[in-house]
Structure 1
Amino acid sequence: MRAAAVLLVLLALAGCGGTIRVEPPVPQGEAVAACDKLATLLPRTLDGDERGTSAPESPYVAVWGDGIIALRCGVPRPVRMAPTDRLQEISGVGWFADPDKPALFTAVTDIVYVEVTIGGEHVAGEVLAALSKPIAQVAPPPAQ
């Protein structure tokens, strides 16, 4: 439910400029260090959009453009993700596509879950490919 609220806020603010409101997650354990490192590796530009500012400010949130792309590091495991779900692998990172929220994707690793909301005219595969590289640097994929 939280992710749906975030998506609605992002889409409502798209094109408004300024600071984008995104609820920051509260990572736990090893996820804290992984998210701190990921924050330093994220691109300044993503699929043509410059990195923006979110409120409240958090090292665990990144937005690009007018909030059309938002990343939250250290979120809980997706509720809809079943043990039998197949993940889409991009550059060594497995991504769960939420069947109820077509703009919501979650990177699944042994250490951390990273949620990405992609709206607007962006191509999900291109955005996820660009984000997979830094995510793979901070968190190995789950053991098979």
Structure 2
Amino acid sequence: MVLVTAAALAVALAVAVAVFALTQPSADSAGPLPLVPVPAPESGAPGCTTLLGAVPAELTSNGASLKVRELATPAPPATVAWGTDDPLVLRCGLNRPPELTPTAALRLVNGVQWLQVPGEGASTWYVVDREVYAALTVPDSAGTGPLQQISDTVAAKLPARALRFS
């Protein structure tokens, strides 16, 4: 009987610890988001300043509200992120994506042409028809809301221009 009681207490303790761990915010989401810098030679361009100054403080993804996230120092230039667990990241002033070719499949979202580059667990969507290249990395679990909201901002703040393939 003592052995059964001890086993039951051990199981109860394990369940309590698991429930506690699942209900606490993760350590990763508590502090600033560290991001790896990527080449962004046009990050100081007026188009990036205009775009980043106009992005929404919150994005809606699958009904959830994602707030702008603080970036760890040193933060990559012309970069903003939203959300905690699987953040969305917008970078501006990037080089032309090598996947942008005359035969690349582009998607028009709210008046903005995007090039999707799938990745592991996320896709990066490049704005390809404006004065600067910007990229929105979106987890596969996110809905289409963030892409639509950023498209609205891009369309409102940056005039369209012809695609550049070189």
Normalising by structure 2, we get a TM-score of 0.67
**In the alignment, is the contact (CA less than 8 A) between 1:68 and 1:120 conserved in 2?**
no
Higher relative contact order by CA 8 Å / sep ≥ 6: 1 or 2?
1
C-alpha distance in 1 between matches for 2:49 and 2:98: 24
Q: Does 1:28 align with 2:45?
A: no
Q: Does 1:129 align with 2:148?
A: yes
Structure whose CA Rg is larger: 2
C-alpha distance in 1 between matches for 2:42 and 2:145: 29
Give structure 2 stretches of 5+ with no counterpart: 1-25
Matches within 5 A, 1:9-20: 16-17=28-29, 18-20=31-33
1:87 to 84, 106, 122: 106
Report deviation, 1:50: 0.5
C-alpha distance in 1 between matches for 2:66 and 2:50: 22
Matches within 5 A, 1:1-144: 16-17=28-29, 18-22=31-35, 23=37, 25-28=39-42, 32-47=45-60, 48-55=65-72, 56-58=74-76, 60-66=78-84, 68-99=87-118, 103-119=123-139, 121-123=141-143, 125-143=144-162
Identify if the C-alpha distance between structure 1 residues 42 and 24 changes in structure 2 by more than 3 Å, giving closer, same or farther. farther
C-alpha root-mean-square deviation of aligned residues, in Å?
2.5
Identify if the C-alpha distance between structure 1 residues 37 and 15 changes in structure 2 by more than 3 Å, giving closer, same or farther. farther
What one-letter code is carried by the residue in structure 2 that aligns with 1:80?
E
**In the alignment, is the contact (CA less than 8 A) between 1:93 and 1:135 conserved in 2?**
yes
Map Cα deviations across residues 29-67 of structure 1 (whole Å, 9 max, x no partner). 9x7100001111000111111101113235510000125
**In the alignment, is the contact (CA less than 8 A) between 1:63 and 1:71 conserved in 2?**
yes
Map Cα deviations across residues 90-114 of structure 1 (whole Å, 9 max, x no partner). 1110010114565111111241111
SS of 1:133 mapped into structure 2: helix
% identical aligned pairs: 26
Identify if the C-alpha distance between structure 1 residues 43 and 24 changes in structure 2 by more than 3 Å, giving closer, same or farther. farther
Map Cα deviations across residues 75-131 of structure 1 (whole Å, 9 max, x no partner). 1111122121131001110010114565111111241111111116311x2211100
What one-letter code is carried by the residue in structure 2 that aligns with 1:45?
E
SS of 1:16 mapped into structure 2: helix
